[in-house]
Chain A
Amino acid sequence: MGGVSTSHVLLGLLCAGPQHGYELKKAHDERLPRAKPLAFGQVYATLGRLERDGLVAQTGQDREGGPDRTSYALTDAGRQRLDEWLAAVEPPAPYVSSTLFAKVVVSLLASGAAAATDYLIAQRAAHVARLRELTAVKTARDASAGDVVAADYAIAHLDADLRWLQTTLARVTDLHQEVIT
């Protein structure tokens, strides 16, 4: 999965009405729980680019409290750009690119089947531990719908990785033969 487009997410958050950078950062972290929190610098830099491109416009300044409190609103062009992004289907996994996969192949080249197997077993244990953590997040009594949906996404991907780790453990010897000849 590539990185999430911060600019499109900010355009979406501005559909709720004009907001300044700090409010947008808070809204982002709240609506996309368990995503990497957005840095303030990134929010202001992105807003600057969006304004330059005419997708958002300044609507006022609130100088109370010191820091930059410029409010921004979505423009018609911004709304159109957002709608295009929302409707566009993402290419499903165009490249097979994964650190896990690369590490197994390189491990076989550099260190042999035993090292690759050790790595796969250790990685599996780390995945299982994370799977259990996220499942606990989901089953907590006070879990919000956002928590559950975010955890579901991560769990589904960890589960897919785990299936791959299992089958690759069984195929290490075959893969080793292929890699070294």
Chain B
Amino acid sequence: MTALLTGTGLYRSYGPTPALRGLDISVAAGEIVAVTGPSGCGKSTLLHCLAGILRTDAGEVRYRDQDIGLWSEAARSRLRRTDFGVLFQFGQLVPELTAAENVALPLLLAGSGRREARKSATLWLGRFGVGDLADQLPGAMSGGQQQRCAVARALVTEPRVLFADEPTGALDVLTGEQVLTEIVHVAREQGTSVVLVTHEPRIAAYADREVALRDGVLDPTGLGLGLGA
């Protein structure tokens, strides 16, 4: 498999505190990779750097063989609208917009027509079992329902790469499993790559492969899930 996304020699610090200390990672097209490790190991920072949300202090992030670190903020922001989907532990829906409007938003920003965007949004909400909540505001939904909407929003543009940072961390076990299973199905059908950050072995098992981190570098023992995590 050829790499779709690579990080080479990634360094990133927050002030004097290093989060990534020379890390290499590679994700193939259609591959689901779990990034695991205890709290503070740098796994979320890695996701943010790969998704072009954070700039690295040193090293290269290449997507489809282009160094996205050299791109302007606007170009990287555009990349996240067209090619990347991003999902965090808490939905981060726009509170003033309905579920369908939230999900349609990335399509509208990417230039889709209103009617078409609405249609896709409804479809994706249905796929994640919240089709009947299309006209609800996030405040009227449960945490699990909001997160299902957020997953639909992250996937509505049919991204090539989905970045998911503890996407089921705030969900009950059953809802979490349903959401993950559906993400796996979508990824398999559409050839979407997934970078899945988690500290739980049970969640990492949904991936094809696990990359374990400790203290900002790869953990050669593979024990990234961390002691007592």
Contacts and interface: CB of A to CB of B under 8 A. Distances in A.
B218 to A, nearest CB: 16
Interface string A93-135: 0000000000000000000000000000100110110011011
Given A128-B210, A141-B185, A135 B225 contact: no
Contacts of B222: 121, 125
Contacts of B226: 166
Contacts of A169: 223, 227
A141 B186 CA distance: 11
Chief secondary structure at chain B's binding surface: loop
A162 B204 CA distance: 12
A162 B185 CA distance: 26
B228 interface: yes
A25 interface: no
Contacts of A121: 221-223
B184 A162 contact: no
A138 interface: yes
Chief secondary structure at chain A's binding surface: helix
A14 interface: no
A155 B202 contact: yes
Contacts of A131: 201-202, 205
B34 to A, nearest CB: 10
B181 interface: yes
A77 interface: no
A5 interface: no
A166 B202 contact: no
B205 A128 contact: yes
Contact of B228 (A128, A132, A167): A167
Contacts of A138: 177, 181
B184 A166 contact: no
Interface string B210-229: 10000000000111011111
B206 interface: yes
Given A166-B227, A166-B228, A170-B228, A135 B221 contact: no
A139 interface: yes
Contacts of A68: none
Contacts of A124: 223
Nearest to A120: B223
A125 B205 CA distance: 12
A135 B205 CA distance: 6
Query: B202, B206, B207, B225: which has the most chain A beta carbons within 10 Å?
Result: B202
A139 B204 CA distance: 13
Given A131-B201, A162-B201, A139 B206 contact: yes
A139 B181 contact: yes
Query: B180, B181, B205: which has the most chain A beta carbons within 10 Å?
Result: B205
A159 interface: yes
A131 to B, nearest CB: 4
A-B pairs, top 5 by smallest CB distance, nearest first, are A170-B227, A135-B205, A131-B205, A132-B205, A159-B202
14 contacts: A121-B221, A121-B222, A127-B201, A128-B201, A128-B205, A131-B201, A135-B206, A138-B181, A141-B185, A155-B205, A166-B223, A169-B227, A170-B227, A170-B228
Given A131-B201, A166-B225, A166-B227, 16 more contacts: A121-B223, A124-B223, A127-B201, A128-B204, A128-B210, A131-B202, A135-B206, A138-B177, A139-B206, A141-B185, A155-B202, A163-B201, A166-B226, A167-B228, A169-B227, A170-B227
